[in-house]
């Protein structure tokens, strides 16, 4: 295990966060290669690690998306980072952690790069209709509260088109691919953790509403005609808004509203 990777310095992340955060990055574990930072963070949380522990890897061999999908995770290019959280909230509210993380990432990337990142419900970071990053939230819950949650963040920073195999090249992008410039992963990771710290405090001290409101401002989904796939079912309609739990309120052609708590959205127009 090394503590450095080109343009990714854990010492610099720690120094930049010191005095600026209260929860995120209290402990940072860097791994050159790991199967999945989420899996490793889940193991650490199971052993009682501190809230705010962050696992960062230079590469993942088994990067995970939702529903058993794979996350392309080559070395030296991107951010793969998982954060252990222990909020006193119900499992029903876990989606708000994804919304909070999407808001934090979009804001951080905008600050570092001025790229006009938007959020596609529920977990996609988008630019110009292409996927720049994604968030995978996994929880361990008792009956009525979360024991711990792992928020996994994958951001394509310096990924080139030639690094995107097969069809991924037709819908994915990276900060470099979009802007033409190389970006330091350290700086982006620091900004993400600072934003996460800020929005987590909002969640714990004020509640879900400010996060849902900010999410709406950053969203590219709301007000658009969309096709939503939920398991085997497909619904088409207008994405109305999200409620405080992060459910998508889909206005169907018969004017009824369907609440959707998980699914894949394609924006039709
Ligand atoms: C996501 O899933 O978007 C969540 C991705 C979370 C990845 C992070 S990396 C750190 C942490 N550790 C992990 O193991 N995971 C998290 P989903 O919405 O299901 O999207 C997955 C789909 O995105 C795949 O089926 C591909 O089509 C596409 N995809 C895979 N790799 C990609 C990449 N690097 N960039 C853009 N799209 C990608």
pLDDT at 245: 86
Q: What band does 269 get if pLDDT is binned at 50, 70 and 90?
A: confident
pLDDT at 16 > cutoff 60: yes
User: If phi over 0 gives left and psi between -120 and 50 gives alpha, with beta otherwise, what is residue 194?
Assistant: alpha
Query: In this structure, what token pair is assigned to residue 219?
Result: 């969203």
Higher pLDDT, 244 or 59: 59
Q: Within 6 Å (CB) of ligand 1, which residues are found?
A: 36-38, 60, 63-67, 69, 71-72, 80-82, 123, 131, 134-136, 152-154, 156, 168, 172
Q: Which residue is closest in CA terms to ligand 1's atom 11? A: 152
What's the mean pLDDT when you consider all of the chain?
94
**Ligand 1 atom nearest 124 alpha carbon:** 3
3-state secondary structure of 137: strand
pLDDT at 193: 98
Residues ≥6 apart with Cβ < 8 Å to 136: 38, 64, 65, 66, 71, 123, 151, 152, 154
pLDDT at 185: 96
Bridge-based pairing state of the strands 146-155 and 79-85: antiparallel
Count of alpha carbons within 13 angstroms of residue 161, beta-carbon side: 8
Give the mean model confidence (pLDDT) for residues 10-21: 94
Neighbour tally for 16: CB within 10 Å: 19
- 251 - beta bridge partners? 238, 257
Residue 119 near residue 219 (C-beta atoms within 8 A): yes
**Ligand 1 atom nearest 66 alpha carbon:** 19
Q: What is the pLDDT of residues 99-119, one digit of tens each?
A: 999 999 999 999 999 899 999
pLDDT at 1: 41
Count of alpha carbons within 13 angstroms of residue 187, beta-carbon side: 10
Q: Which residue is closest in CA terms to ligand 1's atom 27? A: 168
**Ligand 1 atom nearest 134 alpha carbon:** 3
Task: Please report, rounded to a whole number, the percentage of residues in the chain having pLDDT higher than 70.
Answer: 98
**Ligand 1 atom nearest 174 alpha carbon:** 35
pLDDT at 184 > cutoff 90: yes
Residue 85 near residue 173 (C-beta atoms within 8 A): no
**Ligand 1 atom nearest 62 alpha carbon:** 14
Give the mean model confidence (pLDDT) for residues 34-51: 98
pLDDT at 6: 65
Neighbour tally for 64: CB within 10 Å: 20
pLDDT at 196: 98
Question: What is the C-alpha to C-alpha distance for residues 183 and 179, in angstroms, rounded to an integer?
Answer: 10
Residue to mutate, 101, 127, 134, 138, ligand 1, most ligand atoms under 8 Å from C-beta: 134
Q: Which residue is closest in CA terms to ligand 1's atom 20? A: 65
Give the mean model confidence (pLDDT) for residues 19-43: 96
Q: What band does 143 get if pLDDT is binned at 50, 70 and 90?
A: confident
């Amino acid at each position: 295990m090394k503590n450095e990777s080109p343009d990714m310095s854990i010492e610099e992340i720690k120094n930049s966060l010191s005095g600026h955060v209260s929860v995120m990055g209290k402990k940072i574990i860097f791994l050159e290669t790991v199967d999945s930072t989420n899996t490793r963070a889940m193991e650490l949380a199971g052993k009682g690690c501190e809230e705010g522990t962050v696992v960062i890897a230079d590469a993942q061999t088994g990067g995970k998306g939702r529903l058993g999908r794979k996350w392309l995770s080559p070395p030296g290019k991107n951010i793969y980072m998982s954060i252990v959280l222990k909020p006193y909230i119900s499992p029903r509210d876990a989606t708000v952690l994804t919304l909070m993380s999407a808001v934090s990432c979009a804001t951080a990337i905008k600050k570092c790069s001025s790229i006009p990142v938007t959020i596609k419900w529920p977990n996609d970071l988008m630019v110009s209709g292409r996927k720049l990053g994604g968030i995978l939230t996994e929880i361990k819950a008792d009956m009525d509260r979360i024991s711990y949650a792992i928020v996994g963040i994958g951001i394509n920073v310096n990924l080139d088109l030639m690094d995107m195999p097969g069809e991924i090249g037709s819908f994915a992008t990276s900060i470099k691919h979009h802007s033409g410039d190389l970006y330091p992963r350290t700086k982006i990771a620091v900004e993400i953790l600072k934003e996460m710290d800020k929005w987590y405090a909002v969640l714990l001290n004020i509640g879900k509403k400010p996060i849902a409101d900010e999410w709406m401002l950053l969203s590219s989904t709301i007000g658009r005609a969309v096709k939503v796939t939920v398991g085997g079912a497909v619904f088409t309609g207008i994405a109305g808004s999200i409620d405080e739990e992060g459910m998508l309120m889909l206005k169907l052609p018969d004017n009824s509203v369907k609440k959707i708590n998980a699914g894949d959205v394609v924006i039709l127009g």
